């Protein structure tokens, strides 16, 4: 998905494929709970590598959330990307005053495509296209409706179908994985939360998660050297803080750690690049290709700081940094377990804050390239808020808890 230095014979089909695949990932943003705030957002993102060659990384999607859809207790969520749709119909209070249910459907072209990146080199002869569809049932329970910071439990069950086909450059002797049906389950506890925005003014989260993937048609593929595991189990946790200081400086810090059992190429933690809305839990490192690294366990620290350059607060100097310690998935190992990167750029806001644009540069200190270690990238991120509204993302997380959290932070200064 991420990066393109030379487009070679990549072709229009591959360009469309990679953009759509990233958009598919972006369509997963904000699925963890029923969103009680009306939203109409357009998100665009693009990263390009200045060293090496890899697939293009970009996303473009429209996020629509409509509480009160047809009925007061119904919420319709849509994430629309070219030839891909992710949707959920949420029903509030269906199992009691603090328990909601959501029914989801998603699918489209290129949703299950895979790109092999090994030791900093993109291998198109070992990459292929995949299409897919999912149906899910989601359960959301709020434990503390009277508290300022909400604690939610989430249980998601999903049936997923994927079918694979060769790309123009897939090696003739490379065996594709079998078409796959799988049953996936995710469960987690989340205290607090973060809005699905590039730079939220305020937010905090502590969460723990488990995800199991159970395949009905596992087996060997590739050159007989890799395996689709019959089941994979992922465990991860995240702590995050986003805050705006009195002088309008804004920062966001997070630490994410994960481990796994039976992780394969399809279930590994994919780490690298700077596309912050490409997934619900973005694992970013500036300067690297998007999803360049495949880890079976990791610890990742991310930080972003926005420093206003003008009195109107319409222009920010933005600095980002990340560092990660990881063990790699079998078959995708590389020398060294630390990977770090830094970056910076300019963020510009409209006078109404309805839209913002970020232009940035990143340097990956430990990225492997033909000349040795070190890689550069550039990128652009755009957010357009069509509704120009702000509100809480999580059930029970109304404006008072944000104000209470704000007061708590000030007691620490």
Q: Hey, where are the domains in the chain?
A: 8-411
Q: What is residue 80's predicted lDDT score, i.e. its pLDDT?
A: 94
The pLDDT assigned to 56 comes to: 82
**Is the distance from CB of 4 to CB of 53 less than 8 angstroms?**
yes
pLDDT of residue 339: 98
With cut-offs at 50, 70 and 90, classify the pLDDT of residue 90.
Answer: very high
Is the model more confident about 215 or about 410? 215
Q: What value, to the nearest 5°, has the Cα angle with vertex 264 and ends 5 and 266?
A: 55
CA separation, residue 382 to residues 19, 60, 275, 346, 354 (Å): 15, 9, 11, 12, 11
**Quick one: tokens of 214?**
């159970």
Average pLDDT, the chain: 87
More confident residue, 157 or 24: 157
Rounded Cα distance between 26 and 18, Å, is 12
Percentage of the chain exceeding pLDDT 70 = 86
Query: Which positions ≥6 away from 108 have C-beta within 8 Å?
Result: 20, 24, 81, 83, 84, 85, 131, 132, 133
Distance between CA atoms of residues 274 and 211, nearest Å: 24
Higher pLDDT, 97 or 56: 97
Chosen CATH of 8-411 out of 3.40.190.170, 2.40.50.110, 2.40.160.50, 3.40.50.2020: 2.40.160.50
CB atoms inside a 10 Å sphere around CB 225: 9
Work out the average pLDDT over 108-121: 93
pLDDT at 394: 34
Confidence of residue 32 (pLDDT cuts 50, 70, 90): low
Confidence of residue 251 (pLDDT cuts 50, 70, 90): very high
Query: What's the pLDDT score for residue 214?
Result: 98
Q: Is the pLDDT of residue 133 over 70?
A: yes
More confident residue, 34 or 384: 384
Q: Give the lowest-confidence range in 27-36, 56-65, 288-297, 304-313.
A: 27-36
Report how far residue 379's alpha carbon sits from residue 274's, in angstroms, rounded to the nearest whole number: 8
pLDDT at 21: 44
* Cα dihedral 28, 29, 32, 33 in deg (nearest 10): -110
Instruction: Say whether 396 sits in a helix, a strand or coil.
Output: coil
Half-sphere exposure of 244 (CA within 13 A, CB side): 11
Query: Which tens digit of pLDDT belongs to each residue from 298-344?
Result: 999 999 999 999 988 899 999 999 999 999 999 999 999 999 999 99
Distance CA 383, CA 246 (A): 24
* Predicted confidence (pLDDT) at residue 136 exceeds the cutoff of 90: yes
């Amino acid at each position: 998905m991420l990066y393109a230095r030379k487009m070679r014979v990549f072709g229009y089909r591959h360009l469309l494929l990679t953009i759509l695949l990233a958009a598919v990932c972006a369509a997963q943003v904000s699925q963890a709970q029923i969103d009680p705030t009306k939203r109409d957002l357009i998100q665009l993102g693009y990263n390009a590598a200045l060293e090496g060659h890899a697939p293009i990384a970009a996303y473009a999607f429209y996020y629509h959330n409509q509480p009160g859809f047809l009925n007061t207790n119904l919420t319709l969520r849509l994430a629309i990307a070219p030839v891909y749709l992710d949707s959920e119909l949420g029903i509030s209070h269906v199992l009691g005053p603090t328990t909601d249910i959501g029914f989801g459907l998603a699918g489209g072209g290129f949703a299950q495509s895979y790109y092999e990146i090994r030791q900093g080199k993109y291998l198109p002869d070992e990459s292929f296209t995949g299409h897919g569809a999912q149906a899910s049932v989601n359960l959301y329970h709020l434990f503390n409706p009277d508290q300022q910071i909400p604690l939610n439990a989430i249980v998601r069950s999903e049936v997923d179908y994927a079918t694979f086909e060769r790309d123009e450059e897939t090696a003739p002797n490379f065996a594709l994985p079998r078409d796959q049906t799988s049953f996936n389950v995710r469960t987690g506890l989340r205290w607090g939360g973060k809005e699905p925005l590039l730079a939220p003014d305020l937010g905090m989260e502590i969460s723990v998660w488990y995800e199991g993937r159970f395949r009905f048609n596992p087996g060997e593929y590739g050159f007989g050297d890799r395996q689709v595991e019959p089941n994979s189990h992922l465990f991860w946790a995240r702590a995050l803080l986003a805050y705006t200081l009195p002088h309008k400086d804004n920062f966001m810090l997070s630490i994410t750690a994960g481990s796994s059992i039976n992780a394969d190429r399809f279930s590994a933690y994919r780490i690298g690049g700077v596309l912050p809305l490409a997934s619900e839990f973005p694992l970013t490192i500036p300067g690297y290709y998007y999803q360049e690294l495949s880890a079976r366990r990791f610890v990742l620290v991310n930080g972003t700081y926005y420093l206003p350059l003008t009195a109107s607060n319409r222009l920010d100097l933005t600095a980002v940094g990340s560092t990660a310690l990881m063990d790699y998935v079998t078959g995708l190992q590389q020398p060294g377990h630390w990977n770090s990167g830094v970056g910076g750029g300019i963020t510009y806001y409209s006078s109404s804050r309805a839209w913002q644009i970020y232009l940035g540069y990143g340097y990956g200190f430990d990225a492997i390239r033909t000349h040795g270690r070190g890689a550069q990238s550039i990128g652009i991120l755009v957010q357009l808020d069509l509704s120009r509204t702000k509100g809480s993302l999580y059930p029970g997380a109304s404006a008072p808890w944000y104000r209470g959290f704000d007061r708590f932070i000030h007691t620490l200064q």
